Amino acid sequence: MQIKDKVKERYGKIAVSGNTENCCMPGDCCSPSSNIIPISSLRSQQAAKSIGYGQSELESIPSESILGVGCGAPTRFADIKEGEVVVDLGSGAGIDVFIAANKVGQSGKAIGIDMTDEMLEKARSNARTNGYTNVEFRKGDIEETLPVDDNSVDLVISNCVINLTIDKTATFRQIHRILKDGGRMIISDLVTDKEVHGESVDAEKWCECIDGALTRENYLESIRKAGFSKIEVISEVPYMKDSEQTGGRNVASITVKAVKGD
């Protein structure tokens, strides 16, 4: 099975069953011995708080949108303003979209993009059930042509998703394309001290956000190649230590800000 198909399958199952086993998620819930974790469980809320989400903002959005997956909280650093258009790549059940929607208000818009039908169905249901009218969830592959117009977005966010792509630079070029001049992106993602290439790549570990991770230097270089300026690492914390699970690599969570234009 191709890596992209494996990723789609894995996260589709998460949307349906709530089983966050072997996913991009902090703590021991990534281990094969974990039990199935209901999506709306206290444990998912605790996992979300452990990576930077605040209790009050979690209480302000649909509980079903909180899967507890991710490696950071990009909205925490984004300074989202009323009236802005915000796009979230790999939006899942909608946690960051709903947080952004609360901040942009009715004069703004929050758009989630995901390639997984089950996640999109869940996110759209969350929006309908909770009366959100300033959100939209669109199907798209973030490495290919994003279903968003050129130069139309104020902010792009993403949480531990770009490391799942094959071509990171292609993804960042798509982000650059849809941003307005002066628009910004805030991305939380994982980087590693040693990359995996060729036949050594394991599709399962790619889905766990390990084998697809770049080094910090190569990750930032892929952003530069896409045309961004003012690239800044605004947060960096250890995420997973050298272990059997990581294949002998140290993994860190970083949040990066970059701007389109000077």
Domains in the chain (CATH in brackets) are: 70-259 (3.40.50.150)
In which band, very low, low, confident or very high, does the pLDDT at 131 lie, cut at 50, 70 and 90? Answer: very high
Is residue 253 within 8 A of residue 190, CB to CB? The reply is yes
Instruction: Kindly state the average pLDDT of the residues 71-90.
Output: 97
Q: Inform me whether the pLDDT recorded for 161 exceeds 60.
A: yes
**Is the pTM higher than 0.75?**
yes
Exposed / middle / buried, residue 41 (Cβ in 10 Å: 0-12, 13-18, 19+):
middle
Q: What is the pLDDT of residue 253?
A: 94
Nearest to 40 by CA among 22, 9, 14, 21: 14
Residue 74 and residue 247: Cα distance in Å, rounded?
A: 27
Q: Inform me whether the pLDDT recorded for 35 exceeds 50.
A: no
What are 162-193's pLDDT values in tens digits? 998 989 999 999 999 999 999 999 999 999 99
Q: What is the pLDDT of residue 38?
A: 41
Exposed / middle / buried, residue 217 (Cβ in 10 Å: 0-12, 13-18, 19+):
exposed
What are 134-155's pLDDT values in tens digits? 999 999 999 999 999 999 999 9
What are 212-222's pLDDT values in tens digits? 889 999 999 99
Nearest to 84 by CA among 188, 173, 183: 183
Q: What is the pLDDT of residue 6?
A: 65
Instruction: Kindly state the average pLDDT of the residues 85-97.
Output: 96
In which band, very low, low, confident or very high, does the pLDDT at 210 lie, cut at 50, 70 and 90? Answer: confident
Q: Inform me whether the pLDDT recorded for 234 exceeds 80.
A: yes
Q: Which residues contact 220 (CB under 8 A, 6 or more apart)?
A: 231, 233, 256
The separation between CA 112 and the C-alpha centre of its own chain, rounded to angstroms, equals 10
Q: What is the pLDDT of residue 37?
A: 37
